[in-house]
Structure 1
Amino acid sequence: MRLNIFNCSPRGKRSNTKVLTNAFAEGFLRGAAGAPELNEVREFFISEPDDFRRAAEAFGEPSAALIAFPVYVDAMPAIAKSFIEEIAAFKGRCSSTRMLFLIQTGFPEETHTRPMKAYLEKLAKRLGAPCDGVIRMGGGEGARDRVRGSKGGGKMFERYRMLGRGYAANGVLDEAILAKLAGPKRLPALLAPLVLPLANYFFWDRELKRNGAYEKRRDRPLERE
């Protein structure tokens, strides 16, 4: 089976999306019942103009098509929307393209990716392509910085590898793993006040320092004196 991965993250090869598709692809290549050479993976980075053109052509091939991107609050990146508009030309002509999706967001609750899941399922239906599922992950920001051998990072990557193996072997995504990756419906009330300070400390403070802006974080340049 051929798996075409369409990475629609603006960060491209440096994205959180990339490390997740890597893990899925690893599992996919191992999942052909002892014959990994029967599987093939190609990844296109939609943020790169040449890849965008090649990806649009590859979408119509008999294959599994994994479209992957981050979700910003409720929205997809502009390049993801551009790619979807490009492949609309295949409407009614892509029944041999098995679509599946991978979306991730920095927010931990699964409620943030639920509307996008419904949209993507409807997209596949409108194109006339079978939809094999939507992988959703909450708390995805910083995934590229997680160490695979660490307790949290190792478990996350292994889940993606297991999804890939199962999909290559059976053509389906494991529902139990999908539920674990999607995250909780809501954070417990006692836990919520702890999450924001930790996120600020481990991510935003680090980014501010990296860009020499930490000391200016409370500045209000547009406020009148």
Structure 2
Amino acid sequence: MHLVIISGATRPQSKSNTAKIIAAFQKGFEENDGTTEVWYLSDRKQWAHAAKSFEQNDCILIALPLYVENIPGILLEFLSGLCPKQTPGTKLAFLIQGGFPEASQSRCCEAFLETLPIQLGCDYAGTLIKGDMFGTGLVDEKTREKMLAPFTEMGRTFSKTGCFEKTTVDAFAAPEYMPEKQIRMYNLFGKHISRFFMGHIAKKLGCKKKLDARPYETGARLQ
């Protein structure tokens, strides 16, 4: 089986968490004699090649980060330029990754993606969801490999089935909602730990202001 993967992430490949997830998924997919090609929409020079591959192949996976509960604008722009397929049989699957740990945060996006295959003349092959992936590019290599290992396993599964089966992906996406006890513990202790680490990450990325800075607060009061 040959799989075309299109990344809808806005970050360049070298800085993209989606790209790292795609690489892990490819590893598992190719273990069973599968072949892959990947196109990154963050590089507009690749758009024409991605569109041509979409037109010429019948197994396609679109991977994307969750943006404001839905898909990134560049992916929407790319999709709006595609011509629907006239010959039936193409399978179109999706992979959503996001920073929120709860799968419920991605369900709105999933519902939108479910409407796309029929508009593009394709068959829907499921959506893989995984949250809590914000730190993929910020952790050490050993921790990153552990975070990405489940995607390699899903790549192996996809190479055999050619789709994401609902029961499998729902288990993969868990938790749907964080347990109430865990939320209480986070409010007591976790948010302070997260604040510390987010501050450290922000400094590492070049941020020179406090994360809770309110640069427009004075202007708001004047109104």
TM-score normalised over the length of structure 1? 0.84
Partner of 1:18 in structure 2? 19
Conserved? CA contact 2:93–2:164, under 8 Å: no
Instruction: Give the counterpart of 1:161 among 145, 152, 158.
Output: 152
Instruction: Give the counterpart of 2:177 among 180, 186, 206.
Output: 186
Pairwise CA distance, 1:159: 1.5
Structure 2: distance between partners of 1:163 and 1:174 = 11
Structure 2: distance between partners of 1:198 and 1:176 = 34
Q: Per the alignment, do residues 136 and 204 of structure 1 end up closer, same or farther by CA in structure 2, a change over 3 Å counting?
A: farther
User: Once the two structures are superposed, what CA deviation does each residue of 1:35-70 show, in whole Å capped at 9, x if it has no partner?
Assistant: x2xx32111010111101211111011231111111
Partner of 2:2 in structure 1? 2
Q: Per the alignment, do residues 59 and 92 of structure 1 end up closer, same or farther by CA in structure 2, a change over 3 Å counting?
A: closer
Equivalent residue letter for 1:221: P
Structure 1: distance between partners of 2:180 and 2:72 = 31
Structure 1: distance between partners of 2:119 and 2:155 = 26
Equivalent residue letter for 1:77: P
How many residue pairs align between the two structures?
Answer: 214
Structure 1 alignment gaps of length 5 or more:
none
Pairwise CA distance, 1:170: 2.7
Pairwise CA distance, 1:217: 3.8
Pairwise CA distance, 1:198: 3.6
Q: Per the alignment, do residues 196 and 64 of structure 1 end up closer, same or farther by CA in structure 2, a change over 3 Å counting?
A: farther
Equivalent residue letter for 2:150: R
Instruction: Give the counterpart of 1:142 among 135, 143, 163.
Output: 135
Q: Per the alignment, do residues 221 and 155 of structure 1 end up closer, same or farther by CA in structure 2, a change over 3 Å counting?
A: closer
Pairwise CA distance, 1:196: 3.5
RMSD of Structure 2 on Structure 1 (CA): 2.3
TM-score normalised over the length of structure 2? 0.85
Q: Per the alignment, do residues 113 and 195 of structure 1 end up closer, same or farther by CA in structure 2, a change over 3 Å counting?
A: farther
Partner of 1:80 in structure 2? 75
SS in 2 for 1:66: strand
Partner of 1:119 in structure 2? 112
Conserved? CA contact 1:61–1:97, under 8 Å: no
User: Once the two structures are superposed, what CA deviation does each residue of 1:66-90 show, in whole Å capped at 9, x if it has no partner?
Assistant: 1111112312211011111122x2x
Instruction: Give the counterpart of 1:220 among 214, 220, 223.
Output: 214
Conserved? CA contact 1:135–1:178, under 8 Å: yes
Structure 2: distance between partners of 1:204 and 1:112 = 24
Structure 1: distance between partners of 2:139 and 2:212 = 29
Structure 2: distance between partners of 1:177 and 1:156 = 18
